[in-house]
A and B are shown apart, each in its own frame.
Chain A
Amino acid sequence: MDFAAFLVTQCLNALSQAALLFFLGVGLTLIFGIMRIVNFAHGAFFMLGAYVGYSSVAIAGNFWAALVLSPLLVGGFGIAFELGVLRLLYRRDHSAFLMVTFGLTLIMGEAIRLIWGVNALEVRAPPALSGIVFILDEPFPLYRLFLAAAGIVVAVAIWQFLERTRLGLLIRATSQNAEMVHALGTDVRLVRSAVFGIGCGLAGIGGVLAAPLVTASLAMAPTAVIDTFVIVIIGGMGSFLGSALGALLVAFVQVFGTYYFPDLALALMYLVMVMVLVIRPGGLLGKEA
């Protein structure tokens, strides 16, 4: 394999990985920006997305149906949790949220084990995407290309949504000064519910998309939540662009790290995070130190 082909395929690999990480990171960072809470259960929502995706494929027999159904259901569950539990806690310290969502992680992990069982469940990519393409004479899975493209499309869509729609405007305003938005006659609580739902739904999309690669398993949640935290912290809590940057950085470190330093691969990501925080305590694009 010549070096150019190697470099291109590895970069595409990293891009597809970054897309998955971005789905997680952007949800977490949006939620943090609006609600000032850290959603520890984000990985569990991601995992739920994969399992719901599995069932949707099994029932509807169609991966695309799963891609629509899963984020809706996961987002709906997120909104229900926000209304039922989180809303009681807004006057409390942010540690309360960390702990409640930690409890939710335990509950969701166990509930998923009860409903779907302990075995990893395979989700097949749709036939149109399960082939292989040749890039500079190197075989490359088509599905990963699709992931990278999906990541870019969703990133642009979210960016445009935040910049150009009314809800996007409200979300940006709320993250800057919620009191003022409230005083101007918008029910900030509804914005919060919506954002929590959107964030969880994005994690759900990530779950469905990740399922054909890694199978739906109970180990998804812990790995996902840690990776997501790393991304969001590197990028800066609450920064949309930061989460995209963080996802890219972490994905490239993971992919190339695994290749060049297989023994250090696990530690490398944390080292990068520590380094970024030492230089910029608020993250690359974070506001506060």
Chain B
Amino acid sequence: MNFSRGLAAAACVLALAPAALPPYAMTLLTEALILGLFAMSLDLMVGYTRLLSFGHAAAYGLGAYTCGNLLLHTGMPLLFAVPLAALFSGIVAIGVAWVCTLASGVSFSMLTLAFAQLFYAVAFKWTTVTGASDGLAGIPRSPGPFGIAIFAGKAGFYYLVLACLLGSLLFCRMLVHSPFGEVLRGIRENEAKTLSLGYNTRRYKIAVVAIAFALGGLAGALYAPFAGFANTELLFWLFSGQVLIMVIVGGAGTLVGPIIGAAFFMLVSNLLSSWTDSWALFFGLIFIGFVLFAPQGIWGLLSGTGRAEGRERVRWRFLKSTS
């Protein structure tokens, strides 16, 4: 099954879902798709460029707060507010990435974490914009332009999310198969070599962080009107860790894998939380199991390790145990 046929089939199934699923399941599915978009955006950094970000919640939170403020205070229609929030998140990311790319490796990860926590700390105190610990509540799905109101409904909003996810997936796929994507892979495999080939790797890294933040911001911007609220939890480091789990469990460097990882995360945490109070315990165990025994992720397991076609294998640069 090649990529475009598989994608078309998946899109058809997902498009028919509102007809078959009960409302509660639709809510879960919509959230899973939003998280899928978020996880996929992180995959551009983690899977393709080997930029391990521990602060991707910053993108989500930026998008959510920006979109929430636009919808609450300007009366801007949903269809304009969402892309604008994504754009804003991407622009902020350029500054963040400029600082973070001064370092590399573990220091890069920790800097991203520091920035996300900085945003968290600011959001906690800047009451007029973020509502502090109460957050923003009652975020509307404003209609328009031209009185388009179908996205205000449950099914309509689901289609909006689905369209954003599929559009972003196609965009990312195009991106990673472009010359730009090849340079990213070069950075992943051997940054020094890529640099000596004449590529300004830092500029490429800043660009990929900006794109990842814009798409992550898009996910956050969709979440705010979906949930109707935005709070500081969206910026918390735990959320950054969770999205990283989604990427790894799904399969880093595959784009589709993280989406599946996000769906898996939603499904398992919901099943576990309905069955036991201690879902985090089992979740941690499942996660450790994946890292130990299936580092290629769910998508890697599904598509089989032997097949190279249509799939990107992340070959982590093995850190020799003794170095």
Interface string of A243-281 (1 = CB under 8 A from B): 000000000000000000001101100110110011001
Interface residues on A, range: 35 or more
Is the CB–CB distance between B292 and A94 below 8 Å?
Answer: no
Query: Which chain B residue has the least Cβ–Cβ distance from A91?
Result: B321
Q: Does B180 contact A (CB under 8 A)?
A: no
Instruction: From the candidates B46, B281, B288, name the one contacting A111 in the complex (CB within 8 A).
Output: B281
Is the CB–CB distance between A94 and B248 below 8 Å?
Answer: no
Which stretch in B33-41, B110-118, B152-160 binds the other chain? B110-118
Is the CB–CB distance between B291 and A99 below 8 Å?
Answer: yes
Is the CB–CB distance between B322 and A274 below 8 Å?
Answer: no
Is the CB–CB distance between A85 and B292 below 8 Å?
Answer: yes
Is the CB–CB distance between B281 and A110 below 8 Å?
Answer: yes
Query: Which chain B residue has the least Cβ–Cβ distance from A178?
Result: B322
Q: How far is the CA of A103 from the CA of B121 in the complex (A)?
A: 25
Q: Does B284 contact A (CB under 8 A)?
A: yes
Is the CB–CB distance between A182 and B118 below 8 Å?
Answer: no
Q: Does A168 contact B (CB under 8 A)?
A: no
Interface string of B247-287 (1 = CB under 8 A from A): 01000000000000000000000000000001011011101
Query: Given the complex, which residues of B lie within 8 Å of A182, measured CB to CB?
Result: 322
Instruction: From the candidates B107, B245, B323, name the one contacting A277 in the complex (CB within 8 A).
Output: B107
Q: Which chain A residues in 88-112 approach chain B with CB under 8 Å?
A: 88-96, 98-100, 102-107, 109-111
Is the CB–CB distance between B103 and A93 below 8 Å?
Answer: no
Of B102, B110, B125, B318, most buried by chain A (CB within 10 Å of CB) is B110
Q: How far is the CA of A98 from the CA of B281 in the complex (A)?
A: 17
How far does the Cβ of A78 sit from chain B's closest Cβ, in whole Å?
A: 15
Instruction: From the candidates B54, B118, B288, B321, name the one contacting A100 in the complex (CB within 8 A).
Output: B288
Q: How far is the CA of A179 from the CA of B321 in the complex (A)?
A: 9
Query: Given the complex, which residues of B lie within 8 Å of A277, measured CB to CB?
Result: 99, 102-103, 107, 111, 114
Q: How far is the CA of A233 from the CA of B323 in the complex (A)?
A: 20
Is the CB–CB distance between A267 and B121 below 8 Å?
Answer: yes
Q: Does B109 contact A (CB under 8 A)?
A: yes
Interface string of B32-65 (1 = CB under 8 A from A): 0000000000000010000010100000000000
Is the CB–CB distance between A267 and B125 below 8 Å?
Answer: yes
Is the CB–CB distance between B121 and A270 below 8 Å?
Answer: yes
Is the CB–CB distance between B292 and A110 below 8 Å?
Answer: no
Q: How far is the CA of A48 from the CA of B114 in the complex (A)?
A: 25
Is the CB–CB distance between A94 and B106 below 8 Å?
Answer: yes
Is the CB–CB distance between B295 and A92 below 8 Å?
Answer: yes
Interface string of B204-238 (1 = CB under 8 A from A): 00000000000000000000000000000000011
Q: How far is the CA of A25 from the CA of B281 in the complex (A)?
A: 26
Is the CB–CB distance between A179 and B114 below 8 Å?
Answer: no
Query: Given the complex, which residues of A lie within 8 Å of B280, measured CB to CB?
Result: 106-107, 109-110
How far does the Cβ of B38 sit from chain A's closest Cβ, in whole Å?
A: 17
Q: How far is the CA of A92 from the CA of B320 in the complex (A)?
A: 8
Q: Does B124 contact A (CB under 8 A)?
A: yes
Interface string of A213-232 (1 = CB under 8 A from B): 00000000010001001100
Q: Does A184 contact B (CB under 8 A)?
A: no
Interface string of B171-196 (1 = CB under 8 A from A): 00000000000000000000000000
Query: Given the complex, which residues of A lie within 8 Å of B291, measured CB to CB?
Result: 89, 96, 99-100, 103
Is the CB–CB distance between A92 and B244 below 8 Å?
Answer: no
Query: Which chain B residue has the least Cβ–Cβ distance from A275?
Result: B99
Q: How far is the CA of A270 from the CA of B18 in the complex (A)?
A: 45
Measuring CB to CB, which residues of chain B are less than 8 angstroms from any residue of chain A? 46, 52, 54, 99, 102-107, 109-111, 113-115, 117-118, 121-122, 124-125, 237-238, 241, 244-245, 248, 278, 280-281, 283-285, 287-288, 291-292, 295, 316-323
Contacts A/B (CB < 8 Å), 5 sampled: A40-B241, A90-B321, A105-B284, A226-B113, A274-B111
New A-B pairs, 9, CB < 8 Å, besides A92-B318, A182-B322, A188-B322 = A91-B320, A98-B52, A99-B244, A99-B245, A110-B281, A110-B284, A233-B111, A270-B118, A283-B107
Measuring CB to CB, which residues of chain A are less than 8 angstroms from any residue of chain B? 32, 36, 38, 40, 85, 88-96, 98-100, 102-107, 109-111, 113-114, 178-179, 182, 188, 222, 226, 229-230, 233, 237, 263-264, 266-267, 270-271, 273-274, 277-278, 281-283, 289
The 9 closest A-B pairs by CB, nearest first: A106-B284, A90-B321, A266-B121, A107-B284, A93-B316, A110-B281, A103-B287, A103-B288, A270-B118
